Structure formats: structure tokens, C-alpha cells
Amino acid sequence: MTFDVGSRYVSDARKGAGERTGPRPLAGAESSRWISGLRAAMDAEKTGFGRAKMLWSVLPREYAEGFRPYVGGLAKAMVREIQHVVPEYSQPLDGVFGDLFSQAIEQAILYPLSNIRDARRTHEDWGRVFRALGKGEFAEGRSLDCLQTAYRVGGRVAWRHIAEFGQKQGVPVDVLCVCAEAIFAYVDELSALSIEGYTEAQESAAGTLARRRRRLLELVLAHPPASPQVLADQAAAARWKLPEWVTPVALEPVADQGERHTPALEADMLVDLEGAEPCLLVAGQITDLAGLRAGLRGWRAAIGTRVRLSEAALSLRWARRVIALVQRRVLPDAPVTRCTDHLTTLWLLSDEFLIRELSARSLAPLDGLTVKQRARLTETLLVWLQSRGSAPELAERLGVHPQTVRYRMHQLEGLFGDRLTDADERLNLEIALRAEKLVAGN
């Protein structure tokens, strides 16, 4: 939205001694109509990107042309004030960022002058400069505080110079007010562009960092393992300090969970959620179990044993074994399960082929019994092997009469004979019975 206000100002051609040259302000009804139109334009777009451009576009071009000789002095004043106020910019800025900074100051001054009376100009020809400045601040390892302070300082310096110019030229107060509003709307837009650039750089860096950390995790878990030098190089690229001790966590998405949270990429954690077997690798020991559980909603987790970095793959293999046993209902279904709570189970079922062979040999005397007979005798035999108690003690644990226990023990002695007095055979029997009970889900 623009107004043909430039033609309503005429240049004063007189250049006599002591006489001022410049636009002559209108007065009376004509001035009132211009101010009313200006206010209507300002009310049309109160906020948002483009407000500064709209405000510049309704200003008279004569003022822009008259101000151009002051641009060089304004740029130098901006640099001096910014370097005085912002310590990070107090030294001469070198390299790519320094070039960008100089270009940005030039663009920041020239764009508004070019935009006066021309609302069709796009911001893309200068916007990329300020996005690049935001990216440069991220690359320099700084927050956006310095750059946003520089924008505000530059805006104040620009306003001082424009106000001084306006007073010398007799610019109407209403026009100066529009200039002030345009300057500070412009500062907001420059800040927004730099925030966009900074955010883009952050997201790009986060994506690159995530890929490097996934690659590092692959190298840690590789078989054969990567060399220490390769791990050190990749860890440096991934910004992850190689720890001496780690705790792996096997993960499985829970099918009946509608919401699945992505664990945060924390400084002490490597994450792979995209592979066929998702997992985490945490530096040191996991102490905040409740926090881990809360952060893994929608996932089933099995925490491996704390091991040296070189044994991370082995510990993760057992954590994945826990996940498999939970799926088979051998272990209770819980959001988070510790391997260290089920080491005996993991050992007993570490090789199910061998367990089946041991059970077939050790429990062969029971093969001729019915299912019910076998169940009663194996229950009694396991309790006896675990406690070696008397008939009354076994009866209390089994919930039967002592005479029933004596009868069953008599049957077992008849079936197994001297094997019940042999320590090695008793161990084989207990292992077989424990494994059988685990697999049966009892």
C-alpha cells in the first residue's frame, strides 16, 4: 500500500548563503490528508514481517535522496558504537564473518533507502545476508545475544542520525515518527531473519552430530571392534568423550502404545533409533532409572550390565536377550528391565539346546509318568533340591500333608536311586528343573 506523497513536496532551488535546500513541507488541509492516508497505511499492517517495508514505502523519496551523502558516516558510527557496546565485536572482525558483518551494515542502511516509495522490492536480496549472519554466529560458537544487541545499537545510531538530518532539513514531526517506527520494526525483522539462519545452522549441526554419533555407536558395537585410534577420531568428530565404562540399553517399540517419545540426544548418550535393533549407549552407570523410564514412554528397554567400552557389544547382546525373554513371557513385562536382576535366568537359558540335552538326560527317569504325575514329582523334587528340608518343612512350602511328601520322595528315590546322593547329579537336576520352570512360565 503506497501513497503518491513525493509529488506533494517541491525542492527549494534557492541556494543563497545561509539558505537551506531540501523538501518544503506541506501545510494545512493537504498535510492533513497525507497524514490521514499515512495512518491508514500504518493501521493496515500493525505487526508481522513486512511492516518495516510498508512503513519505508510511504515516506517521501526526496528525504532518501537527501540522506544518501550521510550513509558513509552513519555506517562508521554504527561500527564504532557496536564495537563499544558489544565486547565480542570490539576487535576487527576477520574472515568470512567479518565480510558478512560489513556487508550486513551496508545492506541494513541501503535497503530502507532503496525501498522508500517502492514497496515492490523483495527482501530476498538482502534477507539472505542476515540469515547468513545468524549462521555465522552459530559457527563462531556464540549465542544470538551479541548480534541482536548489535541490531538494537545500530537502530539507535540510525535514529540519532536521521533525527539530526530531519531537524536540519525541517522534516515534519509526523514523518520522523514514521521513520522511528520503521527503524525499530526493521530491527525486529533483521533479528527474525538471523534467528532463522541460526536455527537452520543448529538443526543442520544437530543432524550432522546425530549421524556422526550413530556412526560412532556402530564402530563401538562392531565385530571385530574398531581400533582405538579410529574410535578416538570418530568420537572427536561426534563431540563425545570416550568413557572407560558404558551401559548399553536395548530398545523395542511397544506396539500398543499410541505415543512414542524419542530419547533426547544427551551429552553422555549415543542413540540409534533407526536401525533394526534400536539401542542407547550411556557413559558410565545409569542411576536415574525413573528418569529413563519417563523418557522412554512407548519403548520397552533392557539395561545391560555396566562394562568397559570394549565389551559394550557383549553387554548389549545380553540386553537384547532380555528383550527376547520378555517377549516370550519368560521374564515379566516391564517398561525397563535390568539384566543384573536376571543373571541366573540369562545363564540358565544362554544355550537352550544344551539345556534341552541336559534335561533330557537328567530327567529321563520321569519319562514314563503321566503329565500330572510328572508335574507333582518335579515340583517336590525341585523344592527338596533347593532346601533339603524335612518332610514337614517341604509340606509347608508345597501346601500338602507331610505324608504326601514322604510318599512322593519314596517314588523319587525309586526313580533316581543313588543319583539323589551324588552332588553333581543333584546340580544337573536342579539346573534342568529350574530351566524347565522358567521356559514353562511358572
- Give residue-wise pLDDT tens across range 386-402: 988 899 999 999 999 99
Whether residue 243 is predicted with pLDDT greater than 60 in this model: the reply is yes
Cβ neighbors of 184 (< 8 A, separation 6 or more) are: 155, 159
Kindly report the pTM of this predicted structure: 0.55
Q: How many CA atoms lie within 13 A of 440 on its CB side?
A: 11
Q: Is the pLDDT of residue 168 over 50?
A: yes
Per residue in 330-365, pLDDT (tens digit) is 999 888 999 999 999 999 888 889 989 999 999 999
Bridge partner list, 246: 283, 307
Give the rounded percent of residues in the chain with a pLDDT score beyond 70: 76
Whether the bond between 224 and the residue before it is cis, its omega within 30 degrees of 0, is: yes
The CATH code of domain 352-440 reads 1.10.10
* Whether 442 contacts 382, CB under 8 Å: no
41-61 burial string, b = 16+ CB within 10 Å, else e? bbeeeeeeeebbbbbbbbbbb
CA distance linking residue 356 with residue 278, whole number of Å:
31
Helix residue ranges per DSSP H, 7-140: 28-44, 51-57, 61-67, 71-85, 95-115, 124-139
CA dist list (Å): 285 to 77, 268, 305, 340 = 56, 11, 9, 12
- Measured over the CA atoms of residue 351, residue 354, residue 360 and residue 362, the dihedral's sign is negative
Alpha-carbon distance of 442 to 433, in angstroms, equals 11
Of the pLDDT bands very low, low, confident and very high (cuts 50, 70, 90), residue 20 is very low
As a whole number, the mean pLDDT across the chain is: 79
Task: Supply the pLDDT for residue 288.
Answer: 82
70 is written with which cell numbers?
550521510
3-state secondary structure of 245: strand
pLDDT value of residue 323: 95
Length of the chain: 442
Confidence of residue 43 (pLDDT cuts 50, 70, 90): low
- Helices H / strands E in the chain, number of each: 17, 8
